[in-house]
Amino acid sequence: LAEDGSIWVTIDDNEGHYLKVVMDEVFGRKNFVANVVWQKKYSPQADSKWLSDNHDHILCFTKSKNLWFPIPLVRTQEMNNRFKNPDNDLRGSWKTGDYTCNKNADERPNLYYPIIHPKTGKEIWPKRTAVWRYNPETHEKNVRANRVWWGKNQTNSVPAYKRFLSDIEDDGVVPSTIWLWNEVGHTQDGKKESQVFNPHEPFSTPKPERLLLRVLEIATKENDLVLDSFLGSGTTAAVAHKMNRRYIGIEMGDHAATHCAPRLQKVIAGEQGGISQAVGWQGGGGFRFYRLGVPVFDETGHVSPGIRFAPLAAHLWFVQTGIPFSGRADSPFLGSHEGVGYYLLYNGILGDKRPNGGNVLTSKILATLPPHDGEKVIFGEGCRMSAERLQQERIVFRQIPYEIKAR
């Protein structure tokens, strides 16, 4: 996870609170951001034996909370429609806000003072447990700016603050921790979207695209990298693709091929389901589909006894160079990178099928290796050349399996 990255995990009530404790341990309690409650069903389950389970949790943590901040959501027309203009203010539509704040008089004595009601002339005091939000000087400025609202006929007992749409419409909306189905979709939306890509084998628990849209709106910008290590029906990858994010999806089930890949192919072709119209998706782009190779290491972290030459060669090349192996794996010479040649003596690659045949570096074996004019790193099961000779030949020898690490 990047230092300024965030992780979002959906889970139900059965394990949600245990997961919170585990994530506290992994990321640190100080890096907990929020427990978002997602209304995953739009109606109660009539057949529920106890309470109808209508929500899931989405736990959000960061790597470093002082480096990560949520991106404000874009205001919708529905949000803007909540602003009215009952007094025909020339500044346009507005909505009232609280004139008090959640402080007490002992904490903020400068905010505990009387305000004169404009109609009755009486002094209006705040509660000692919820003082005015503004000090006396700021309140006078609010009065002069016609930002204090006492109701249409000035009959309200306490004032409110006029917050104009023009002041905030470019600022976006701070995300909240309650996500309703009509805003981010529900499980039935997810199933319908998934059936478009594989109608014969519907996925059991797909997420709606609007839910992932909300997460990626808050947590990412264009070209950011998104990882979903439990890709499922491919929703995260589909949404990331439509939003111009880079993405990696990992799925160990067969639906990686039966659901995820076909879904992304249709996304690229310009399918118009899910969030396509909302983000103006017309198609394009591409993806790469990889299958995980055989395990190089066993459960104890040692090189697997039965590992063949090709996967071991690919692993060593990547560890040494940091780039994927693209060779044919039919030669002990794996290739050169930044002037260094890499060799692997293993599994009879030189044609000698005896257990140690060709796997031990000797002068005779060295003479048969493809030449490289420069420094050489040679992996093998043993070495019978002197340290002086290795230095003369510019060879760094690394013994299998002791000098092969998982990382």
Select, from the ranges 23-27, 126-130, 298-302, the one with the highest average predicted confidence (pLDDT).
Answer: 23-27
Q: Which residues pair with 148 in a beta bridge?
A: 161
pLDDT attached to residue 345: 93
Task: List CB contacts of 230: < 8 A, sequence separation 6 or more.
Answer: 250, 251
d(CA 161, CA 166): 15
Are residues 190 and 235 in contact, defined by beta-carbon separation less than 8 angstroms? Answer: yes
Q: Which residues pair with 162 in a beta bridge?
A: 96
The per-residue pLDDT for range 363-376, each reduced to its tens digit, is 999 999 999 999 99
Cα pseudo-dihedral 8, 281, 237, 210, rounded to 10: 40
Cα 44 vs. chain centroid, distance in angstroms? 30
Token pair for 59: 């736990």
The per-residue pLDDT for range 280-325, each reduced to its tens digit, is 999 999 999 988 878 888 888 788 878 889 999 999 999 999 898 9
pLDDT attached to residue 354: 54
3 state SS for 177-217: CEECHHHHCCHHHHHHHHHHHCCCCCCCCCCCHHHHHHHHH
Is the bond into 401 cis (omega within 30 degrees of 0)?
A: yes
The per-residue pLDDT for range 333-343, each reduced to its tens digit, is 999 999 999 99
As a whole number, mean pLDDT of residues 171-181 equals 89
As a whole number, mean pLDDT of residues 10-31 equals 96
pLDDT attached to residue 129: 85
Please work out, in degrees rounded to the nearest 5, the angle formed at the alpha carbon of residue 41 by the alpha carbons of 37 and 46: 125
In percent, the amount of the chain with pLDDT more than 90 equals 66
CA atoms within 13 A on the CB side of 74: 8
pLDDT attached to residue 333: 95
pLDDT attached to residue 350: 64
Token pair for 93: 């539509």
The separation between the first and the last C-alpha atoms of the chain, rounded to the nearest angstrom, is: 17
Residue 59 has pLDDT above 90, yes or no: yes
Residue 128 has pLDDT above 90, yes or no: no
> For the chain, what's the residue count?
407
Token pair for 272: 């118009």
d(CA 404, CA 76): 55
Residue 45 has pLDDT above 90, yes or no: no
Task: Identify the H or E element spanning 299.
Answer: none
d(CA 31, CA 29): 5
Residue 406 has pLDDT above 80, yes or no: no
The per-residue pLDDT for range 184-243, each reduced to its tens digit, is 999 888 888 887 777 767 677 789 999 999 999 999 999 999 999 999 989 999 999 999
In percent, the amount of the chain with pLDDT more than 70 equals 96
Mean pLDDT of the chain: 90
Which pTM value belongs to this model? 0.69
Residue 127 has pLDDT above 90, yes or no: no
As a whole number, mean pLDDT of residues 48-74 equals 91
d(CA 82, CA 94): 8
Confidence of residue 56 (pLDDT cuts 50, 70, 90): very high
Are residues 382 and 359 in contact, defined by beta-carbon separation less than 8 angstroms? Answer: yes
